[in-house]
Structure 1
């Protein structure tokens, strides 16, 4: 019997070789045997007895609505990306390729549920009724988010990696303490969104521990897009991410993150598990980031074009389009209408961005604390005096 090979640590500063990247890609090409999939990359509807019942209501009309959501979200994402390149936004965080993972989860939520995003959840924001223009201030540097989290059920974006998992666990604990779980229609749950890179942060694991200990109704929804900026998944974990849930005592499941139907079904199941008092669930949406991590990133420096081309064949929007055409006989007029609607949305986004007013200098003081304090007022006066000193009097 051959002896097991000794584990050799990998220098995190070294760039993965072509062989490493391709080996990882081949090993995860289908997401593994546990992957939940209801719509193949070729647009074929396949059955999964565990989850078919959660999408029984998705007829041709509902599928067209999901398609529309994904197209419009991609269109305004692409427009915002272009606006950053033209100097109108300080940075943008693309979601290209992750539309199904977000629209499926977002449409699974009820009105009383609460979502805790990171900074890439533009599709979840769309599902919660946040107009795309409201996202621009964050990336233009004029505000921290203009919507009301309690009214929309969508918390403000979280820039600190993984911190939202602690916030979500605490919020879900509150839902349980207040008796908002059970079999009633008014039962609530929380869903927390983060990426594969965040699973290497302590905040995420602390959130898992607290949620498990208090049986909190929270779905931890990991969008595994394969790359934590330039670090591939294989350097972060020895096991599939969804299997980590076992160590905390709650279920984990992997879903095809490019399959909007499967993401909707699994998210509905997971949220229902939480609402009825069964505690936390970890969902790993197995997807791919087809663009840069942010507009400050250059993905060509750390990943191969072969990898991107393979994932283009699994495009989440295209597989729904093919299914609508082949199985529901949807004609070109519908797709043309959605495309035109996307162009109108992009034009409105651009017009809004270009017309955004510059905030007053004292806004950094007026919009931080609910109530002023002597120290804050003193800082404000000192800052405004310094700011005014740079202004020259008119002749």
Structure 2
């Protein structure tokens, strides 16, 4: 039997510990760095609006989590952000970028609303699941051309998904004003059947909170365990990290890329379907305020880790839930939310360098050394002393 030479090494335990610390830092660094980067921006916005330096931060907290109604509002906005973030994360496991979640969400929502409105005679046991399936199938179908063009013609998926977003948004408008509309000029479908509606489990004001956000969180954890604890998840990660080595090992890289991209589209379509059955009960023009694009921020704020997207999604949902409170109670324009969100996205772009620096710092602290400088920072060798 072959011996594991790494295990015989006296540094094997330390290396394993370093890897564990690095994985932990990689998981939590995204939200922490983003929040730290947004704090001074919040102070500047507060002062420029004539408020106290921390009034914006206090207003965000109160509007998002300061009461039972605020928490319910935040959780209600979590579902589409989490699912679109999960959609982007799953595609990224195969190193594909799905920028088309907005269009997939819109078409998935329209398909589910049209189906549930036209099949009201079906029993609830059939209508409810089929409505969600309709949204997921249409979302996956709208994602297919992008991955097909990627594999057959070499067209980058970012370009095709951006174009398909525009097509999907205008196509939804044409359909909802035409054959799928309710006959008015408002631009909306008919209400869905009662059998497809998810009843609220928490009533707040005129709205109600369903189990949709908790369903989305469960999907996120299932995706995490599937990727980390199954042979299929290992193949997906191998296909994404090193396609050539994966092919040499017999892994069907192109097939896994296609499957993950279709799964990504299905999750985005499911996000739209859940908004229909749990919140709006119909589709209308301007259905999404940009949930598909916010999902990109949610995904990379969590370092594209499906098990952590719920945390970044909760942060973004809190920002969206607090916008009206900021204007009414604090006197700060809700547009400040988009400035903060832009800062979060910019912090995501700088995370790799920050994360590498933190990883080196932890490794050297555990080894009892000091942070290497200059050439030693690049090589990792201890600095010689005279």
Q: TM-score normalized by structure 2? A: 0.28
Q: Which has the higher contact order (CA 8 A, sep 6+)?
A: 2
Name the structure with the higher helix share: 2
> Higher strand share goes to which structure?
1
Q: TM-score, normalized by length of structure 1?
A: 0.28
